Structure 1
């Protein structure tokens, strides 16, 4: 597409041509266009038809015309722009800044209040006009703009000979919708720009408009309505199950990227998909279903969620504010602003989220009974309060490609039903937070060779006061509590090069390195001895005594990670088929201290006696591992090495129909908290020497078909084998517990029309393998358990004049429990020995054998008071349907999702 723009002098209907104002408008518009790499030339001909010929002969993309006049009441400049396509000689777009609205409303005008400075008005007009010009390289007709800014103005009739008829305009609008559906560009799938139907992955793109139109609050809200994903929960964490697999509280089988940089939590590798990560800063979300380790390494087993944040140019000086307030103590506040300058652009975003969450009384695992011998219910504790700040600076002009980001993330929460599924008898709070700084530089070395460098520093803290067991327990009459403040940091770097060959072929390669440091505990105490080599008994007189470091295995022992990756894409061969081959090598080196005193059977365990003269009591306390060395505490080393290959084939039947075949292997290395968590009831590896990475092997077939300009149908089938899945085993220890195999089908239909958009998708899963090393857990190789076997989602969104509304429906299919989740089983025969909580012939039946399907309906209605202010309401779980999330293990309870929430929603743009 040509970068030449031909500009004519701006005319006026005022008496006499004010050449000074015309020159100022033209100069400011020329400057704005040149800042965007456009070549601007001055038109010389003296009428429109000749100027169109002149523009065509010079190969210009557009001919830009304009006019202005000064409002007699306000003495403000009214500015109008018209954009013509020289090839078709038609008007394709228009724009205006004027005061016509005040006349239409017949308002009494305060001249002093509404008076606008000429220079500011011209500059604003030039900036927005340049965006209209640059952002339309395909020269599509913007019919709504033409109606508003050209055809319905006092001079509208003179433009009609240069516009399409209404019928042709309708055809053009349909083509634009098709281009919008087909032209969604992603970068996360291959690290190069690809259309979704051409990418060698199963991928979805969700825009900021879709996020807002459907009232989404969190990443979870987005994922739960995409094919393949479903809600899971453990304690307070609303996690994301994928393709018939349950997801625990760590939620660490998804990888989250922010502007292309890995952003999972440092302690447990958690993908923070709940409202802790807000969406007000997000321009679009790219979601890859299935493994992505060949490009991104660990955690990318179930998928990759790539958040693309706004740039200063996107916001262009706007200030956006939003407030959502509703029942259950829900308060959500957003602030976003940004602008583009000569050398730098900036973005500043803030989000605050607060809710009381679920408040209904529920059963727990404490065994507390009422006077009649029935289990008691207790009010769960689910209050949440989060804050998020993003500050971003990006280089412009000669500094283009340079960017700096600072993320401040803080979340305060309660544990819902307690870490041990015992609802705490005191409030207890957990606080986590992290500060992340990212520096990135990317530019073209040549027209075909691109370099990129990333540096990230992140520091996380965890401050909690947890209540694990309540008062009155036979072993711990005063209950069990733990207080901890600990922190960890990480340095990460990446160097990447991309070479773009002719014909769409590309080669991407790079290296990554990281260093993770456990920074120690500011404090760590408990009323019991929970040290690794301790007695696990109550302290005398319920005293809170110091506990050894929570990751004592790696005190003063950094974890080092290195990786190398490469990917080759063939481009379209014979204009029909494209191959993508990728491979990545990851290595983690860990030196750790054998604080479990591996030779204690020979050497014994060193202790110290503590005497309290006031109470005349003594206590034998384990000597902290930090005070010991060989031969008691050994120095050891562990290395993980994993190679992740993948292949993708895309076959182009036509520009509307593609077929895909993909296969690959991904892995997830145990996170520092899983591997080296110790001296705590939160849990860690029983023995880090024995914990291995998880491995997933996946094969997929897919189809992407544009049935019409407005309808896009997608279908894919998959088979996965998930090996060495890490979970909690006996004694609350983290181990490689089970291997499962799942296959299934996912299908979706996307519809986009001028004023109405919609979607519907269906997913169905089947189990073909279930191997579990825990003899207490039954195996179900032919049935999906503890996750829905099918899901259905649908939604429709529309705009009518000043109104916008949407409704979406999420249906979770039936969930079956494992037999061992109903009661104890015989380890040899697998037969159920008792059914304490789910027997339909006893009273009460605390939970059902299977969880029935449920529906979640979300409704949204918004009215635009003015162009810049909207007022509406969102209704979450509109039918107030009881929605149950399964709990693994034997117990009398499941998780209850939030009831109906009604939020008043106010938005303003300045």
Structure 2
């Protein structure tokens, strides 16, 4: 008890020290990090309708995350950026490949949320998903747009429960920035951001190298002791050129991480090499915008699982290879005139599995060669999937532009199953400058992955089935926004989702569509205030509060009872202080049933938890040409767990303990 009290006292002392630094850090340049409330409400976004529109008149619920907010909060990964949003759960996994759930909708491997980087879909064809941590570097970011709700009416499959769209800067930075960071758990990073403005364009380059041993996992998935850590090593680069009406970019990423899922004397390192590129051309006429884009997204992954006996002798080894290619092209035309905004577009995609196999090379000390997992599409081990689509949208401007109905429809053609039709209807009504009401209804789908359709396993565990159909969802949403005055804004939303054709495997049987529907519903509350006040030598404070109330009949989300999560975010001129509440979840009937240790099998970790984070920028201390960043995450070292985990039959994943880091940024 004395040790715990001492640790709390030390934590409070560290908080005091960091706040003291924040006091010294404030100066006239601190407004760089602030976003005015007026600017936030009327910021121009494009993801919701594929046309430029203010956030207020967007037909979908959309969150805008600026580069200023990312920098001020000390955000390094997409997981961190999304964790501040309402209706969002970040499911920490033991291998650094987090899962994102919107509004209680399970999304294994993030297959139900579409991720775009400069319009390029980050979707690996075998598993059908992506990862929000080391797989998506946040280099040269201008802003991020996040839609919680159906997006298939414009984006097709995988925009099932939402969409995340990352936009990089088109202009070169005013100064070259070099940032060096060091932190606990042997964490180091080096980041570069530079560029050059041309007569009719710009050249931009950014890159990062990151290395950490990560925190030690206390238990493996069966509740046994483990010596695994969340170690990561990665390096990435981003190159972009803008010239007249053309844009082109290339992204490369190479990262390696241990899969800390197993007990002692087991390892499973995984190595990823990712490449993406796109070329875009845009023509702007009097009332017509015409955009054409081609792109590719490629993933090369290798894993090597090994097991040793008590004497240190290797008795099991298996390797896994994955090599996939995604190619696509899209063309869309936008006409704005006569009180309407019409969009027409075409898209085509081809996904190719060049190689996929899991091979057992050593079993019970004996050399062997067993194909544990392979894809088989009518004898083809390298299947190719093609998709063609056409989409249309019409946004009307009525009652002096205050009433805006939007009608969207997309037709997707796949060779493996019937064509999909995805409609969406949105309505926005603005009453004066204060009230805004939105209503949205839409359908979306998620096509089965190659793994779910064509996998063949030697152990018979969850093989693929070519008979499965796409998952379906019907979403309803109501949003009321009230601008109290120039400094205060409040939103309350109600949502309801009905999921059908849910793809699942029960007791290692082949994948199949469920016969029963599932649902999730709830409320989101957001409050933003820009306050003029003198505190900590800062003239401004931005307060953000969001809370989500969720009810679902999905066991891994919140059976029977309800869940509440919330964030209170204090944004001063030079620092942020966040209070994060993770709501309690009920246990399902299968909770901890696969845990071998009886003591840990009986433990219920699905309580509510509160954590505190602080990030401070000290600008030009002692008139030196540097900026210093101090970060403290989980300040009081709360031991907390994933609020949900699928499947929850395994032992819960421990979230990261207290973490401190210091960064030095030099600009020239």
TM-score (structure 1 length as normaliser): 0.64
> Residues 858, 690 of structure 1: CA spacing in aligned structure 2 closer, same or farther, 3 A cutoff?
same
> Residues 557, 264 of structure 1: CA spacing in aligned structure 2 closer, same or farther, 3 A cutoff?
closer
Alignment partner of 2:254: what SS? strand
Question: How far apart, CA to CA, are the structure 1 residues paired with 2:602 and 2:104?
Answer: 21
Counterpart position of 1:851:
606
Alignment partner of 2:502: what SS? strand
Counterpart position of 1:383:
231
Counterpart position of 2:421:
643
> Residues 874, 782 of structure 1: CA spacing in aligned structure 2 closer, same or farther, 3 A cutoff?
same
- Of residues 516, 523, 533, the one that matches 2:351 is 516
Alignment partner of 2:253: what SS? strand
Counterpart position of 1:24:
none
Counterpart position of 2:101:
241
Contact 1:462 1:486 in 2 (8 A): yes
Cα displacement string for residues 452-498 of structure 1 (whole angstroms, at most 9, x for unaligned residues): 1110122211111124x7759xxxx9765321233111210101111
Task: Determine which structure has the larger helix proportion and give its number.
Answer: 1
Deviates more, 1:855-864 or 1:746-755: 746-755
> Residues 257, 783 of structure 1: CA spacing in aligned structure 2 closer, same or farther, 3 A cutoff?
same
Question: How far apart, CA to CA, are the structure 1 residues paired with 2:519 and 2:135?
Answer: 32
Counterpart position of 1:569:
395
Question: Does 2:245 match 1:401?
Answer: yes
Counterpart position of 1:818:
588
Question: Does 2:282 match 1:442?
Answer: yes
Name the count of aligned residue pairs. 623
Contact 2:576 2:616 in 1 (8 A): yes
> Residues 732, 872 of structure 1: CA spacing in aligned structure 2 closer, same or farther, 3 A cutoff?
farther
Question: How far apart, CA to CA, are the structure 2 residues paired with 1:392 and 1:862?
Answer: 28
Question: Does 2:575 match 1:805?
Answer: yes
Question: How far apart, CA to CA, are the structure 2 residues paired with 1:506 and 1:179?
Answer: 24
1:581, distance to aligned residue in structure 2 (A): 0.3
- Of residues 95, 110, 115, the one that matches 1:256 is 115
Question: How far apart, CA to CA, are the structure 1 residues paired with 2:650 and 2:124?
Answer: 32
Q: How does 1:122-161 map to 2 (within 5 A)?
A: none
Contact 2:465 2:510 in 1 (8 A): no
Counterpart position of 1:719:
496
- Of residues 162, 182, 187, the one that matches 1:325 is 182
Alignment partner of 1:815: what SS? coil
Question: Does 2:275 match 1:501?
Answer: no
- Of residues 193, 202, 214, the one that matches 2:73 is 214
Question: How far apart, CA to CA, are the structure 1 residues paired with 2:398 and 2:476?
Answer: 22
Unpaired stretches in structure 2, ≥5 consecutive residues: 1-27, 533-539
Cα displacement string for residues 382-425 of structure 1 (whole angstroms, at most 9, x for unaligned residues): 21122221111111xxxx221111111222111121xxxx3362
Counterpart position of 2:9:
none
Alignment partner of 1:550: what SS? strand
Counterpart position of 2:367:
543
Question: How far apart, CA to CA, are the structure 1 residues paired with 2:320 and 2:52?
Answer: 45
Q: How does 1:579-598 map to 2 (within 5 A)?
A: 579-589=405-415
Q: How does 1:391-430 map to 2 (within 5 A)?
A: 391-395=239-243, 400-417=244-261, 422-423=262-263, 425-430=265-270
Counterpart position of 1:894:
652
Alignment partner of 2:267: what SS? coil
Cα displacement string for residues 718-743 of structure 1 (whole angstroms, at most 9, x for unaligned residues): 11012233344322854435642011
Q: How does 1:89-104 map to 2 (within 5 A)?
A: none
Question: How far apart, CA to CA, are the structure 1 residues paired with 2:427 and 2:591?
Answer: 42
Alignment partner of 1:678: what SS? strand
TM-score (structure 2 length as normaliser): 0.87
Question: How far apart, CA to CA, are the structure 1 residues paired with 2:509 and 2:639?
Answer: 31
Question: Does 2:56 match 1:271?
Answer: no
1:702, distance to aligned residue in structure 2 (A): 0.3
Q: How does 1:344-383 map to 2 (within 5 A)?
A: 344-365=201-222, 376-383=224-231
Contact 2:246 2:282 in 1 (8 A): yes
Counterpart position of 1:673:
451
Counterpart position of 2:544:
759
Counterpart position of 1:869:
626
Unpaired stretches in structure 1, ≥5 consecutive residues: 1-143, 148-173, 366-374, 529-537, 590-637, 771-776, 825-834, 838-842
Question: How far apart, CA to CA, are the structure 1 residues paired with 2:531 and 2:509?
Answer: 53
Cα displacement string for residues 89-137 of structure 1 (whole angstroms, at most 9, x for unaligned residues): xxxxxxxxxxxxxxxxxxxxxxxxxxxxxxxxxxxxxxxxxxxxxxxxx
Question: How far apart, CA to CA, are the structure 2 residues paired with 1:294 and 1:205?
Answer: 21
User: Pairwise CA RMSD of aligned residues?
Assistant: 2.9
Relative contact order, higher structure (CA 8 A, sep 6+): 2
> Residues 574, 567 of structure 1: CA spacing in aligned structure 2 closer, same or farther, 3 A cutoff?
same
Question: How far apart, CA to CA, are the structure 2 residues paired with 1:674 and 1:414?
Answer: 25
> Residues 424, 844 of structure 1: CA spacing in aligned structure 2 closer, same or farther, 3 A cutoff?
closer
Task: Determine which structure has the larger strand proportion and give its number.
Answer: 2
Question: How far apart, CA to CA, are the structure 2 residues paired with 1:575 and 1:524?
Answer: 57
Contact 2:461 2:508 in 1 (8 A): no
Structure index of larger Rg: 1
Contact 1:384 1:412 in 2 (8 A): yes
Counterpart position of 1:30:
none
Alignment partner of 2:129: what SS? coil
Question: How far apart, CA to CA, are the structure 1 residues paired with 2:650 and 2:290?
Answer: 56
1:758, distance to aligned residue in structure 2 (A): 2.2
Counterpart position of 2:469:
692
Question: How far apart, CA to CA, are the structure 1 residues paired with 2:221 and 2:509?
Answer: 17
1:559, distance to aligned residue in structure 2 (A): 1.3
1:574, distance to aligned residue in structure 2 (A): 4.4
Counterpart position of 1:338:
195
Alignment partner of 1:639: what SS? coil
Alignment partner of 2:153: what SS? helix
1:261, distance to aligned residue in structure 2 (A): 3.0
